Amino acid sequence: MKKKRVVAKEIYTLADLQNWHDVDRPIRLGVFGDPVEHSLSPQMQNAALKHCKIDMQYVRFHISPNELRDAIDLIRKMEFVGVNLTIPHKVAALELLDTPDENVKRVGAVNVIKVEGGKLRGFNTDGRGFARAIRDEFSVDLRDLRVMLLGAGGAARAIALQCAKENCERLVITNRSFEKAQKLADELRDFFAGPKVLGPVARLQAIPLEEGAIRFQIGHIDLVVNATPVGLNRGDPSPIPVRLLAPHVMVYDTIYSAERTPLVSAGIEAGARAANGLSMLLHQGALAFEIWFQREAPIEVMRRAML
């Protein structure tokens, strides 16, 4: 009987993984998400694979939360190189790993899995990707910055930890649920025990997501970062209004769904330098490539592929 061939698809599923012998492509990498259609990772990773003459492909997998365990079991058995995890799997995948690295444990989220000798190693490249993005966009290192972070979820936790590790000048965390901002600040307290202080303000603070509190802080801040999904949907407002921004701040929105997200537009209107999250996506992807292949990622090739 003639073997059934599955034609190249845009999005693969758990059923495809279960019938992998039917898939006629050298797919050894991918991204698990739900939804996953929007992911830009395939174009950037496939450009890198082609440039490095690695005969493999990277594809999107639509995997729902109740399919994650089976999907991860299958990539372990099928000698995948690894996968990226995106919404909503970054936290749930933690308990499925054999060896989470230190970042994964501290952040509580994993975005890169490497399959090695049948074992699953977990990494989180969001924080380092963010640090490289800030250097890329504004030619400045986190250690020289006073940062205000909006959000205390997975992305924010990775960013906050990176700011702490790089010994940034100040970190002010603000979040819709204030207790979560407070808890995150408490977890990072040890990193900020040093004497690097400027003026009357504390090096590490959690503040309510309120106009008065933000207005008070903004004069002591160099970089405002949005790590909430506010701005992702058409019609969303800026997560903080333009009147709270000022020309001296740099504005970074981790959202990359539009070149000018609401926060980026607000920043530009306020006379500030502003960038969206495409550069963070690029650098976290380049770091993932380096983890999988133990070689430098062709960053300019990957950057061009995302445009």
User: With binding defined as CB under 6 A, does residue 147 bind ligand NAP?
Assistant: no
Q: Indicate which single residue of 54, 74, 229, 306 sits in contact with ligand NAP (rule: CB under 6 A).
A: 229
User: With binding defined as CB under 6 A, does residue 284 bind ligand NAP?
Assistant: yes
Take residue 144 and report the two structure tokens written for it.
Answer: 């020289």
Q: Indicate which single residue of 185, 281, 286, 305 sits in contact with ligand NAP (rule: CB under 6 A).
A: 281
User: With binding defined as CB under 6 A, does residue 153 bind ligand NAP?
Assistant: yes
Between residues 17 and 133, which has the closer beta carbon with respect to ligand NAP? 133
- Choose the stretch contacting ligand NAP; rule: CB under 6 A; options: 25-33, 60-68, 153-161, 190-198: 153-161
Write down the least CB distance from residue 307 to ligand NAP, Å: 15
User: With binding defined as CB under 6 A, does residue 185 bind ligand NAP?
Assistant: no
H-type helices in the chain, by residue range?
14-18, 41-51, 68-77, 102-107, 126-138, 154-165, 178-188, 211-218, 262-269, 278-293, 299-306
Q: How many residues does the chain have?
A: 307
Widest Cα–Cα separation across the chain: 79
Token pair 């609401």: residue = 262
Cα 144 to Cα 216: distance, rounded to the nearest angstrom: 21
Cα 71 to Cα 242: distance, rounded to the nearest angstrom: 44
- Choose the stretch contacting ligand NAP; rule: CB under 6 A; options: 75-83, 152-160, 196-204, 299-307: 152-160
Closest CA relative to residue 112, chosen from 95, 130, 93, 131: 93
- Binding residues for ligand NAP restricted to 116-135, rule: CB under 6 A: 126
- Choose the stretch contacting ligand NAP; rule: CB under 6 A; options: 98-106, 210-218, 274-282, 299-307: 274-282
Q: Which residues contact 87 (CB under 8 A, 6 or more apart)?
A: 33, 34, 35
- Binding residues for ligand NAP restricted to 209-228, rule: CB under 6 A: 227-228
Cα 16 to Cα 34: distance, rounded to the nearest angstrom: 16
User: With binding defined as CB under 6 A, does residue 183 bind ligand NAP?
Assistant: no
Task: Tell me which residues touch ligand NAP (CB under 6 A).
Answer: 126, 151-156, 175-177, 180, 227-230, 232, 254-256, 277, 280-281, 284
